[in-house]
Amino acid sequence: MRRLTRGIAAVFLIISLTLMGAVGYYDAALPDTYYLSDGGTAAVDCFFDIEIIPDGEVIAASAGSATAEETDAEIRLFGVIPVKSAKIIHADAKMLIPGGSPVGVKLLTEGVMVVKTAEVTEGVSPASEAGIMAGDNILSANGEELNSSARLSEIIENSDGEPIVFKIMRNGRSSTVTVTPVYSETEGVYKAGLWIRDSTAGVGTLTFIDPETGIFGALGHPISDSDTLTTLPLGSGEIVDVVITGYDKGERGCPGELYGTFVSGLASGTIELNCEQGIFGTMTYPSRQEAIPIAYKAEVKTGPATILTTIDGSTPQEFEVEIERVTLSSAAKSKNIIIKVTDSELLEKTGGIVQGMSGSPIIQDGKLVGAVTHVFVSDPTRGYGIFIENMLDAAEIISGEDLAA
């Protein structure tokens, strides 16, 4: 009898500790505020059953209303155990034009990006000795602002070994360092031991256009340096129209890729922001496509959905996917959704998600819920997505307005 009693007590203790741990985790991880569109219901997909219980009736904002209505709510585990207080805000859903069309991305960095440092002569690397590291951004040399790798190379080669003062940016902080180039016998010029880059180009997918402002969003992830994996500091950039001419099929351990041709040198939009949630800017010409409502992240649920993407030419197609997981953590600015491609045509042709599909809109129940961002290298049928609400939060930097509400 004692053993049975102890066993029951041990099980009760384990359950209690598990529940306490779950409450503590969700208290820290889940947001305090949840937007809902008219007729929308909150869907909190978690390992444990989590429900958002409003304290009173949630009143929808009337059309054209300048303010949204909100009500207090409580997040409960299994609908019973209190986790934290929250707010539900009912607002008119933002209307956006979904993308899916391929875009060519051209980006010039602010200053010059350091890819890596190297030795000029045996055991001597002036850049490394000065404290310069891969991922640093060199903004100026001896007071001259830099806008090309060629100009920096010219300054170094013509230095005659005299010290050069660099202004660098690292992790958002600027500082100055002094580099003394050394003569390279093999190349016959002065060198600093720097591998540098000032631009990049590639193919991605347009996610949305705001019909009211002309602001666009694409990719759902930043444009990063391929060597250092750091986000490239934006000097200037543009998107151009692209025609997809082919692709490599994705396989386990080897992600596929879309190939495209830039249609012309005419920019279809200017890039004004390169950040964790994607690239954003303003379209050069308006779109005549129809807008659809967005779904706030609290409305996104596991289950069937579709993506809009282009694997041939320039016209987007709709393909079936399954949303397998939704992460509402307030700390997660990207990789909020896990999707699995279920469309037999897309699986047959590309194997699932391939590079170049980043930014492809995810549609669920007629609403724009997010965008594809990454493919799983171990399984090209699956990948990550970002909430459209998070992309709109980033786009506010351009517009200065709350685009999500």
Number of residues in the chain: 405
Catalytic residue among 221, 268, 287, 374: 221
- CB contact at 8 A, 326 and 302: yes
State how far the Cα of 247 lies from the Cα of 168, in Å rounded to an integer. Answer: 39
Catalytic residue among 128, 136, 343, 374: 343
Residue 210: active-site member? no
Residue 374: active-site member? no
Percent of residues in the chain assigned helix, strand, coil, to nearest 5 = 15, 45, 35
- Nearest 10 degrees: Cα torsion 341, 347, 353, 355: -170
Catalytic residue among 37, 125, 287, 358: 358
- C-alpha separations of 117 from 124, 136, 157 in Å: 11, 10, 16
Nearest CA-CA partner of 106 in 313, 316, 265: 265
Ordered strands of the 50-54 beta sheet = 33-36, 81-90, 69-77, 50-54
DSSP result, 76-123: EETTTEEEEEEEEEE-PPPEEEE---EEEEEEEEEEEEEEEE--SBTT
- C-alpha separations of 329 from 5, 32, 96, 168 in Å: 39, 10, 24, 34
356 phi-psi bin (left φ>0, alpha ψ -120 to 50, beta other): left
State how far the Cα of 328 lies from the Cα of 299, in Å rounded to an integer. Answer: 10
Catalytic positions:
221, 343, 358
